[in-house]
Structure 1
Amino acid sequence: MAAPSALRDDATLVSHAVVELARRTHFPVAFGGLEHDGAVHVSSIVGARTRSIEGLVVHASRGLGGRALVERRPRMTLDYRTSRSITHDYDRAILGEGIATLFAVPVLVGGTARGVLYCGSWAQAPVGEVEARPAFDVAGELGTELRVRAEVERRLQSAPTPEGGLSAGAREEIRESYAQLRSIAATVGDDSVRRRLEDVEGRLAALTGDTPVTTPDPDVHLSRREIDVLACAAVGSTNGEIATTLQLRETTVKSYLASAMAKLDASTRHAAVTRARRAGLLP
């Protein structure tokens, strides 16, 4: 079971996702929650006209969301009241809100369903690719944020913290996490999600305790992609591995490396990484 503080953080992420779900899909009702103790606990609701959905707990395999959870794929019903493909355990909540069309999308993290997001309409409303795609995107972005935070927490909890600061091994773990974070952020299309991931990157980088020993040249600015490539190079990735991680061509990776090396006045990638760290550009 997750710790209470972790659940509060999860609820904040779900709240952001549900707001985005309503905004992007234009469904009048959006709600969702994460799974714990074998059920999805609805923690955020947008657009509801009644309070019937509040506190809804959807158990695995039950109702539309329970099916989406165990099957790990979206489920939809155009007429919830007459649907024969789902159990009707939650009619009081769903029909109490007056929902006719209901669309449920699982939130996947590493192939595991961590929760469900719902879109609802009071009238029957066909859900095609145009309507479904934004919901898939929001669920995917929430899954990415959960995956990133879980990985960071795992590494930080396992890192030794002797008196006087982190050990060398722990710092390398954090640097590897930083590189992974940047590679994940590079694949996220939504600017607001990317900004939140970059905030996590900054906090993670600060944990190494490294203080820049030189002041960066104000005329030298590395682009986001140049820092992405350097962060991967810093943990020993080859050009081919960097290309795969960041979904770039290998020639493009070489170009970013060359550009970063030139800006940092470094003759090798290792020297570029060292100077970037001294300048506070990398952990």
Structure 2
Amino acid sequence: MTLQEQLADDRRLVAEAVRALSRRTRFPIAFGGLIENGTARMSAFFGNHTDSLDGLAVRPERGLGGRAMIEMRPRMTGDYRTARQITHDYDGYILGEGIGTLIAAPIVVDGKPRGVLYGGAWGRWNIGGVAAAPAVRVADEVAAELSVRDETRRRLSGLQDADAGPALSPGHREELRESYAELRRIAADIDDADIRARLADVERRLAALSGIAQAPRTEPVPQIRLSPREVDVLARAALGETNAEIGALLGLREGTVKAYLSAAMAKLDASTRHAAVVRARKWGLLP
């Protein structure tokens, strides 16, 4: 994936977050963007009545959003026009849309601001925590997925392209497997169905990389379906972790881990966990 494709993919994530923010809060207007070359460029808008917000790019420290990004906490005002705690660099955009009430929730990844989401309304509102809390949760969800994407891209950048021909080195293959197992663990901790679906797509792409330069299969692949949890524990077992270690990482009882492994082994017709891992890799169920 090129840098431009990554940027477009991340902008789609922001667009989904903007719609989610409007849906989960009482704000009729929502917009947001990620930091590009040091400036948060607004790339997604929802509910606006005019095109006044087009081209809005917020620098850290400037305006309500800039202050939120620098302080890495939400900032809000019930009367934007008279607000004294912020600079008014962007009045032409905000007041041009007629926004009187505004909240800015920063997107913070690994302790650094990556962008900002806004919720707004025409006229004055008493914002309070009722609307602020869900806005912050949406920003946190975006940050969580960006963190996963960053790590996935970092690890994949060290792998050879599928069209390059040579097989992955043992070190790269092991890192691929660790990345896959970690994604499974992260996905297990996320409740949002949309984010889980996107993570599942990344997992499939990682699993597909394990087939680079493999010889074509000469035997049919059995139609085996492992449950998500069976894949979770099998992916961790593939790294040599014990049942206790797997349970601690996935938040499961040791006996529950053993049950999932036994079920996976039965489906794979394997007598040991090692044999189960070998067959799962052979049939493309694990990288």
When normalised by structure 1's length, the TM-score is: 0.89
Q: Deviations over 1:84-133 (max 9, x none)?
A: 22111111111111112111111122222211111111133333444233
In the alignment, which residue of structure 2 is the partner of 1:10?
10
Of residues 141-150 and 155-164 in structure 1, the stretch that sits farther from structure 2 once superposed is 155-164
How big is the alpha-carbon RMSD for the aligned residues of Structure 1 and Structure 2? 2.3
Offset, 1:214: 5.8
Offset at residue 48 of structure 1 (A): 0.6
In the alignment, what sits opposite 1:126?
Answer: 126
The answer to whether the 8 Å contact 2:207/2:285 transfers is: no
Percent identity of the aligned residues?
57
The worse-fitting range, judged by mean Cα deviation, of 4-13 and 53-62 is 4-13
| 8 Å Cα contact 2:207-2:284 kept in structure 1 | no
5+ residue gaps, structure 1: none
1-structure distance, mates of 2:132, 2:219: 50
- Higher mean C-alpha deviation, range 239-248 or range 83-92: 239-248
Contact 1:212–1:280 (Cα < 8 Å) also in 2:
no
Contact persistence 1:213–1:279 (CA under 8 A):
no
SS of the aligned residue for 1:262 comes to helix
Which of 219, 232, 235 is equivalent to 1:231? 235
Other-structure match for 1:194: 196
Q: Is the 8 A contact 2:29 2:119 kept in 1?
A: yes
Q: Distance in 1 between matches of 2:22 and 2:217?
A: 44
Aligned positions of 1:1-283 closer than 5 A: 3-160=3-160, 163-209=165-211, 215=220, 217-218=222-223, 220-283=224-287
Counterpart Cα distance in 2 of 1:140 and 1:252: 30
CA distance in 1, matches of 2:190, 2:137: 10
Question: The residue matched to 1:118 in structure 2 has which SS?
Answer: strand
CA distance in 2, matches of 1:223, 1:169: 28
Shift of 1:58: 0.8
- The alpha carbon displacement at 1:265 in A equals 3.1
User: Which letter maps to 2:28?
Assistant: P
Give the conservation status (yes or no) of the 8 Å contact 2:27–2:119. Answer: yes
Q: How many residues align?
A: 281
AA matched with 1:178? Y
| Larger displacement relative to structure 2 (59-68 or 5-14) | 5-14
How far did residue 216 of structure 1 move? Answer: 5.2
Residue 214 to residue 257, structure 1, CA distance change in 2 (3 Å): farther
Paired residue secondary structure (1:221): coil
User: For residues 214 and 255 of structure 1, do their structure 2 counterparts lie closer, same or farther at Cα, with a shift above 3 Å needed?
Assistant: farther
**Structure 2 spans left out of the alignment, 5+ residues:** none
Q: 1:150 to 1:25 in 2, by over 3 A?
A: same
